[in-house]
Amino acid sequence: MLSKTGIPTKDQVASRFPDRVALIKPKAILECYEDIPCNPCSTSCPFNAIEIGANINHQPKLHTDLCTGCAMCVPSCPGLAIIIAQIRGHEAVFKIPYEFLPMPEKGEIWHAIDRSGEIIGDAKIERVQINQTNDHTAVVTAVVPIEHLETFVTVRKKV
Amino acid sequence: MKTKDLIIIGGGPSGLCAAKMAVEAGISVLLIDRSPELGGQLIKQTHKFFGSKAQYAKTRGFDIANILINQVKDHPLLEIMQNATVVGLYQDKVVTVYQNDTYMKFQARAVIVATGASEKFLAFENNDLPGIYGAGAVQTLMNLYGVLPGQEIMMVGSGNIGLIVSYQLLQAGVKVKAIIEAAPSIGGYKVHASKIRRLGVKIYTQTTVKRAIGKEQLEAVELVSLDENWKAIPGTERIESVDALCISVGLSPMHQILSMVGAKTKYVAELGGFVPVISDHHETSVEGIFACGDAVGIEEASSAMMEGYLTGLYASEYFGKKHPNHQELLSKYEHELGMLRDGPFGIKTKIGLEKLRKGETNAE
DSSP code string of B167-199: HHHHHTT-EEEEEE-SSSS--S-HHHHHHHHTT
Answer whether A79's CB lies under 8 Å from A35's CB.
Answer: no
Mean pLDDT of B339-362: 87
Residue of A nearest to B191 (CA): A79
Is pLDDT above 90 for B216? yes
- Residue A126 resides in a domain: yes
What is this structure's pTM? Answer: 0.96
CB contact under 8 A, A135 and B58: yes
Residue of A nearest to B335 (CA): A55
Torsion sign (Cα): A21, A24, A27, A30 = positive
As a whole number of angstroms, the longest Cα–Cα distance in chain A is 46
Stretch 273-302 of chain B: residues touching chain A, C-beta under 8 Å: 302
CB contact under 8 A, B203 and A6: yes
Of A4, A79, A115, the CB nearest to B189: A79
Residue of B nearest to A32 (CA): B191
Domain of residue A110, residue span: 2-29+71-156
Residues of A in contact with B174 (CB under 8 A): none
**pLDDT score at B362:** 46
Q: Give the minimum alpha-carbon distance from B173 to chain A in angstroms, rounded to a whole number.
A: 9
What does each C-alpha distance from B112 to A10, A71, B11, B292, B319 come to in angstroms?
50, 43, 11, 7, 13
Residue B106 CB coordination number (10 Å): 20
Mean pLDDT of A76-97: 98
| CA pair distance B72, B163, nearest whole angstrom | 32
CB contact under 8 A, B184 and A4: yes
Q: Residue B316: which of B18, B16, B13, B3 has the closest Cα?
A: B18
| CA pair distance B281, A41, nearest whole angstrom | 33
Average pLDDT, chain A: 97
**pLDDT score at B359:** 64
- Residue A54 resides in a domain: no
Q: Give the minimum alpha-carbon distance from A149 to chain B in angstroms, rounded to a whole number.
A: 16
Per-residue pLDDT tens over the stretch B232-246: 999 999 999 999 999
Answer whether B274's CB lies under 8 Å from B265's CB.
Answer: yes
Beta bridge partners of B226: B232
Is pLDDT above 50 for B363? no
The DSSP letter of residue B140 is I
Is pLDDT above 50 for B364? no
Per-residue pLDDT tens over the stretch B59-115: 999 999 999 999 999 999 999 999 999 999 999 999 999 999 999 999 999 999 999
Q: How many domains does the structure of chain A reveal?
A: 1
Residue of A nearest to B160 (CA): A79
Is pLDDT above 90 for B7? yes
Per-residue pLDDT tens over the stretch A20-38: 999 999 999 999 999 999 9
Of A43, A81, A100, the CB nearest to B194: A81
Q: Residue B200: which of A92, A159, A78, A15 has the closest Cα?
A: A159
Backbone phi, psi, residue B149, to 5°: -75, -15
- Residue A143 resides in a domain: yes
- Residue A98 resides in a domain: yes
Q: Give the minimum alpha-carbon distance from B355 to chain A in angstroms, rounded to a whole number.
A: 23
| CA pair distance B300, B281, nearest whole angstrom | 20
- Chain B CB within 8 Å of residue A80 CB: yes
Residues of A in contact with B197 (CB under 8 A): 5-7, 115-117
CB contact under 8 A, B58 and A77: yes
- Residue A64 resides in a domain: no
Mean pLDDT of A5-11: 98
Answer whether A22's CB lies under 8 Å from A66's CB.
Answer: no
Q: Residue B182: which of B257, B138, B248, B116 has the closest Cα?
A: B248
Of A5, A36, A100, the CB nearest to B189: A36
CB contact under 8 A, A6 and B339: no
**pLDDT score at B357:** 85
User: Which domains are seen in chain B, by residue range?
Assistant: 2-118+251-358 (3.50.50.60), 121-247 (3.50.50.60)
Stretch 11-40 of chain A: residues touching chain B, C-beta under 8 Å: 31-40
Per-residue pLDDT tens over the stretch A101-142: 999 999 999 999 999 999 999 999 999 999 888 999 999 999
Of B52, B190, B346, the CB nearest to A34: B190
- Residue A115 resides in a domain: yes
Average pLDDT, chain B: 96
Residue B101 region by backbone torsions, left for phi larger than 0, else alpha for psi between -120 and 50, else beta: left
**pLDDT score at A132:** 84
Per-residue pLDDT tens over the stretch B258-300: 999 999 999 999 999 999 999 999 999 999 999 999 999 999 9
Answer whether B98's CB lies under 8 Å from B106's CB.
Answer: no
CB contact under 8 A, B185 and A115: no
Stretch 51-90 of chain B: residues touching chain A, C-beta under 8 Å: 51-53, 57-60, 63
- Residue A44 resides in a domain: no
Of B50, B186, B191, the CB nearest to A4: B186
Is pLDDT above 70 for B360? no
Mean pLDDT of A60-88: 98
Residue B80 CB coordination number (10 Å): 19
Residue A42 identity (one-letter amino acid)? S
Backbone phi, psi, residue B18, to 5°: -60, -40
Of A78, A100, A116, the CB nearest to B48: A78
CB contact under 8 A, B194 and A8: yes
- Chain A CB within 8 Å of residue B342 CB: yes
| CA pair distance A82, A67, nearest whole angstrom | 13
- Chain B CB within 8 Å of residue A141 CB: no
Q: Give the minimum alpha-carbon distance from A55 to chain B in angstroms, rounded to a whole number.
A: 7
ipTM over 0.95: yes
Is pLDDT above 60 for B50? yes
Per-residue pLDDT tens over the stretch B110-150: 999 999 999 999 999 999 999 999 999 999 999 999 999 99
- Residue A55 resides in a domain: no
